[in-house]
Amino acid sequence: MTNFLQRFYIATALMVLSVTSSAVPTNMLIVYHIGNDDKLYQDFENALTDKLNTSVGSPTIFVEHLDLQRFSSVDYEKSVRALVMEKYANIELDIVIFNSVAAAKVFDFEHPLLANAHKFILERRDVSPFLASEYTFNLRLHPDYTKLIDVASRSTNSEHVYLLTPDDRQDSQLERIKQQLSSDAQKVSFIPLINTAQAINALSGLDQRSPLILMSNYSLSDGEILNPMQVARRISRIVNQPVFVAYDSLIFENVVGGHVVSSSLTADFLAEQIKRLLSGYSVDTQIDNVYSDVFNYRALNLQRLSADRLPHAHLILNKPASIFDLFLQELMYIVFVLLILSGLVVFMLYSNRLLRLKQDQLANSQISLQRIHKRMDVATNATQIGIWEFDLETSKLYWDQAMHSHHGMEAERFNQKLSSWLDILNVQDKVQLEALVNECIQTGKSWKLRYSVVVGNTTKYLVCNVAGVKDKNDNVIRLVGTVLNVTDSELHQQRLQEQRIKAEQATKAKSEFLANMSHEIRTPMNGVIGAADLLASTPLSEMQAQYANMIKSSAGGLLHILNDILDLSKIESGKLDIDPAPFELKTLVQQIMSSFTLEIARKKLKFKLHHSSYIPDVVNSDALRIKQVLFNLIGNAIKFTNEGMITLSIEFVPITGDANAGSLQFTVTDTGIGIPKSHQQRIFKSFEQVASNKDYIAKGTGLGLSISKKLAQLMGGDLSLKSEVDEGSAFTLLVPVTVAPKDSLNKLDSNVAIIPNLKAKRILVVDDNDINQTIVGQMLIDCGAHVQYAKDGSKAVSMFKDEHPDLILMDLLMPVMDGIESTKAIRAYEAEKQLPRTKIIALTAHALKGYEESCKAAGMDDYLTKPVNRNELYKACME
Ligand code: ADP
């Protein structure tokens, strides 16, 4: 079954393919029996060519008009036949179409030219089939007059029609039509067309409302043979009534229409049959459905016939093109123009909108400019900033109101010249302002000038700023600047300055007072300590030794307080210098620990030293000050701890990227009473004591931490605290240090007594205070020196001249002549006499910075402060 279907489909496809594509005749001859080339024939030929035209190719069509009706003799037919045969002798004809039996009859179908060709005969008249060979077809075309009459009468709404017939004597077709129409006899009048005159005559008398129907061929008795087209043309010119015809090719000019044999449909049918024949299929020789109702729009209009009456599915020719078609070009042009116009309008609207936008922007800018102006006004009024401008082109100076008011010059007096500004300034300001204006004109560089003007009785202080405005060539074209009235702040500054000076003077006075006081106290202290020292070095009973020690320790305590006060005043007056030098950390720690061993043991506390894995051996810093701070911290820790432990931990924190620099971090931790949070800031202030436990209050001056913190900061570090009440405190001293090589070591003062050999040394001790004289003298005598004394400077000078001592210890403040003066005199004498330089050591209770410098300037070699420390004295004497 499937096989069968497949074969069926393939066969059908092949058939369709062959029918549609391969069946193309190459050469085709069309033979008409009358000689004419009217539209009927052309339509037929064109349609036939169209239909047979395939993608493979199209046939070549040859056409012959035999004109048989004009020359109807047998000779003529023979001649024509011979002519045609001759003409196409070399052409292989595939198809020959005869447009009537009459035309076919002229030819001999057995002739080689026609024998192999497929032959078609189109016959309109009802004749018996012309069977010249088995390939001959008789295509009968019969215009359906019954329908034509019906169409004509319906479309004209006329009961009656005229049928223009050929001469009825020779036309059997007419007979047949008449028979056909016999039932409609009363409806149809036959008008035979015999000759032109008769026709004109007959037609001019017709009822103009009834349509006239033309039949096909006419031969007039006056010898004129007319084809239907010629007839139709003539008739339609003569008559006024609607004309209908039987062939579509006749519908032109005034012909209204008809139920016509369509030459194009006929050609379609014929082409189809030719294709079938060439493809080997059977052919249909009976033409049907080549009729259609066709109307001429123009003639319909002329006759005022309504299209409503026309039969269904009719075709209308010459229909006027729609307005759109007619005016397409114009329409295109209009559309184009409209497009351009609308483009223009859009452009105008857009540019208008742009314009409006720009205007809006301008308006907005103006508004914001006004606002800026307003703000500027408000700002300049509020801040009293004066604005000025100097136009280099016109050399005109412009001032705003604030400028006038700043300079106390009314606008009327102002002549817009730079000189009017310069002239009101004092000479110095004038020169400066002029120079700066010129500089700005040259370079465009901005500047600022502070100057003053006297307005009335007051002096106003003003600050002027300027900037150069340049053109596109980088030339300064004008200067624009401001002037600010700074009188208030200037006066304020001046007051502050005065207050500062006063404060500085007060601090200085305080420092000097403290220095003086400490000097005054130190001098007797020198005596007390020195005497106690000397006393202790003599053979004493146990009790006496104890008393001597008590004197020493009380005096030491007093000296500590004095030193604290002195340090503080030094720090506050900026006279305390940090003196960094390499020192050994180990020694420093040992010294501190040994100082507190006894006290720690006495309070039954534990002491722990802890240090990080790496601590540099020798560092560069101020060991004395570090020691001072740590002494204070450990002293406090012991003081405020009753049980538990005191820890000193040392850590070295190197600075990243530099192995030789870092910070030393000393933390003194105790398990004592702790410090309340609220007091932790206060304890670093001078004279503050904030023990949570009243038992501890007033043990000390409250200066230790304040000095320690300041010292730490002077060293570039800091002192900080963490503490909890009843748990303990931890003070951390941070000091930046650099690691120093071991050989740079500066041995710390040791407490090991130095006993120098001063034997045979003649030393002159100059001091107005007997006790001090004795103490210092005794210390030197203890070492074998030969000591002489002088009570004032002038005595010292004269003794020097007489005795030429090896060494002079010179007090500074003395009656008659002070130490500085006498030193200068000694140095002058030495110079005069060209004597070797004698060492002079200053000995003073003045411990303030500055004294040492003046001593050295006067020619002294060393400087010792009272109370004199035995070791320091010996060291100075030996150097
Ligand atoms: P003072 O010489 O009076 O001790 P400081 O400046 O050294 O003066 O200390 C100020 C106050 O800070 C002390 O009076 C004490 O109240 C508190 N203080 C200092 N160190 C400690 C500590 N380790 N534990 C508890 N309180 C301390």
pLDDT, tens digit, 9 for 90 and up, residues 617-649 = 899 998 888 988 998 999 999 999 999 999 999
Tell me how far the alpha carbon of residue 553 lies from the centroid of ligand 1, in angstroms: 21
Choose one of 643, 705, 732 to mutate for the ligand 1 pocket test, by most ligand atoms within 8 angstroms of C-beta: 705
Split at pLDDT 50, 70, 90, the class of 728 is very high
Tokens found for residue 347? 């452009």
Name the residue at shortest CA distance from atom 25 of ligand 1: 674
Q: Across the strands, what pairs with 485?
A: 462
Name the residue at shortest CA distance from atom 7 of ligand 1: 704
Evaluate if residue 747 carries a pLDDT over 60: no
Task: Order the strands of the 447-455 sheet from edge to edge.
Answer: 396-399, 385-391, 476-485, 458-470, 447-455
Choose one of 648, 683, 693, 696 to mutate for the ligand 1 pocket test, by most ligand atoms within 8 angstroms of C-beta: 683
Mean pLDDT of the 738-750 span = 68
What's residue 730's pLDDT? 96
Tell me how far the alpha carbon of residue 877 lies from the centroid of ligand 1, in angstroms: 39
Split at pLDDT 50, 70, 90, the class of 22 is very low
* pLDDT tens readout for residues 525-554: 778 887 887 888 788 888 888 888 878 877
Nearest CA to 160 out of 202, 191, 188 is that of: 188
Evaluate if residue 851 carries a pLDDT over 80: no
Tokens found for residue 239? 């008559």
What's residue 203's pLDDT? 78
**Atom of ligand 1 lying closest to residue 668 CA:** 23
Say what the pTM is. 0.40
Evaluate if residue 240 carries a pLDDT over 70: yes
Tell me how far the alpha carbon of residue 686 lies from the centroid of ligand 1, in angstroms: 11
Residue 100 C-alpha from the chain's centroid: 91
What's residue 4's pLDDT? 45
Burial 503-526 (b: 16+ CB within 10 A, else e): eeeeeeeebeebbeebbebbbbbb
Mean pLDDT of the 425-448 span = 90
Does residue 705 have its Cβ closer than 6 Å to ligand 1? yes
Can you say whether the dihedral through the CA atoms of 199, 202, 208, 213 is positive or negative? negative
Tell me how far the alpha carbon of residue 652 lies from the centroid of ligand 1, in angstroms: 26
Decide if 532 contacts 556 (C-beta within 8 A).
no
* pLDDT tens readout for residues 475-531: 899 899 999 888 888 889 889 999 999 988 887 777 777 767 776 777 777 788 878
The rounded distance, in Å, linking the Cα atoms of 349 and 590 is: 98
Nearest CA to 700 out of 564, 510, 514 is that of: 564
Does residue 296 have its Cβ closer than 6 Å to ligand 1? no
Q: What is the mean pLDDT of the chain?
A: 81
Split at pLDDT 50, 70, 90, the class of 9 is very low
The rounded distance, in Å, linking the Cα atoms of 293 and 289 is: 11
Name the residue at shortest CA distance from atom 21 of ligand 1: 636
What's residue 612's pLDDT? 85
Ordered DSSP codes for 294-315: EEEHHHHHHTT--GGGSPTT-E
Mean pLDDT of the 705-710 span = 90
Nearest CA to 571 out of 704, 733, 667 is that of: 704
Strand bridging mode 728-739 / 658-670: antiparallel
Ordered DSSP codes for 412-434: GG--S-HHHHHTTS-HHHHHHHH
Decide if 530 contacts 771 (C-beta within 8 A).
yes
Tell me how far the alpha carbon of residue 633 lies from the centroid of ligand 1, in angstroms: 8
Tokens found for residue 257? 């229409």
Burial status of residue 242 (CB atoms within 10 A of its CB: 0-12, 13-18, 19 or more): buried
Evaluate if residue 86 carries a pLDDT over 50: yes
What's residue 708's pLDDT? 92
Give phi and psi for 645, each to the nearest 5: -135, 150
Helix or strand run (H / E) with residue 713:
helix 704-714
Split at pLDDT 50, 70, 90, the class of 44 is confident
Count the residues in the chain: 879
Does residue 675 have its Cβ closer than 6 Å to ligand 1? yes
Out of 326-330, 370-374, 388-392, 524-528, the most confident range is 388-392
The rounded distance, in Å, linking the Cα atoms of 755 and 762 is: 17
Does residue 763 have its Cβ closer than 6 Å to ligand 1? no
Name the residue at shortest CA distance from atom 8 of ligand 1: 702
Mean pLDDT of the 87-104 span = 87
Name the residue at shortest CA distance from atom 19 of ligand 1: 636
What's residue 223's pLDDT? 61
Evaluate if residue 144 carries a pLDDT over 60: yes
Decide if 794 contacts 817 (C-beta within 8 A).
yes
**Atom of ligand 1 lying closest to residue 689 CA:** 14
What's residue 496's pLDDT? 92
Mean pLDDT of the 294-319 span = 86
* pLDDT tens readout for residues 560-595: 777 777 777 778 777 777 888 888 888 888 888 877
Name the residue at shortest CA distance from atom 23 of ligand 1: 637
Decide if 599 contacts 689 (C-beta within 8 A).
no
Does residue 729 have its Cβ closer than 6 Å to ligand 1? yes
Does residue 637 have its Cβ closer than 6 Å to ligand 1? yes
Does residue 689 have its Cβ closer than 6 Å to ligand 1? yes
Residue 701 vs residue 774, higher pLDDT: 774
Contacts of 406 (CB under 8 A, 6+ apart): 384, 386, 453, 460, 462, 483, 485
**Atom of ligand 1 lying closest to residue 692 CA:** 16
Angle at 513 between CA 512 and CA 517, to 5 degrees: 115
Helix or strand run (H / E) with residue 367:
helix 328-383
Split at pLDDT 50, 70, 90, the class of 789 is very high
Choose one of 607, 633, 636 to mutate for the ligand 1 pocket test, by most ligand atoms within 8 angstroms of C-beta: 636
Which stretch of 71-80, 255-264, 430-439 has the lowest confidence by average pLDDT?
Answer: 71-80
Split at pLDDT 50, 70, 90, the class of 825 is very high
What's residue 687's pLDDT? 65
Tell me how far the alpha carbon of residue 733 lies from the centroid of ligand 1, in angstroms: 15
Which stretch of 178-187, 218-227, 363-372 has the lowest confidence by average pLDDT?
Answer: 218-227
The rounded distance, in Å, linking the Cα atoms of 244 and 235 is: 11
Tokens found for residue 354? 């742009």
What's residue 720's pLDDT? 94
Give phi and psi for 809, each to the nearest 5: -105, 115
**Atom of ligand 1 lying closest to residue 707 CA:** 6
What's residue 173's pLDDT? 64
What's residue 34's pLDDT? 74
Split at pLDDT 50, 70, 90, the class of 453 is very high
What's residue 36's pLDDT? 62
Strand bridging mode 225-226 / 218-219: antiparallel
What's residue 19's pLDDT? 43
Decide if 167 contacts 192 (C-beta within 8 A).
yes
Contacts of 663 (CB under 8 A, 6+ apart): 652, 653, 655, 717, 734, 735, 736, 737
What's residue 495's pLDDT? 92
Name the residue at shortest CA distance from atom 13 of ligand 1: 689
Split at pLDDT 50, 70, 90, the class of 2 is very low
Helix (H, G, I), strand (E, B) or coil at 667: strand
Evaluate if residue 46 carries a pLDDT over 90: no
Split at pLDDT 50, 70, 90, the class of 877 is confident
The rounded distance, in Å, linking the Cα atoms of 344 and 321 is: 33
Mean pLDDT of the 165-177 span = 65
Evaluate if residue 11 carries a pLDDT over 50: no
DSSP 67: -
Evaluate if residue 322 carries a pLDDT over 80: no
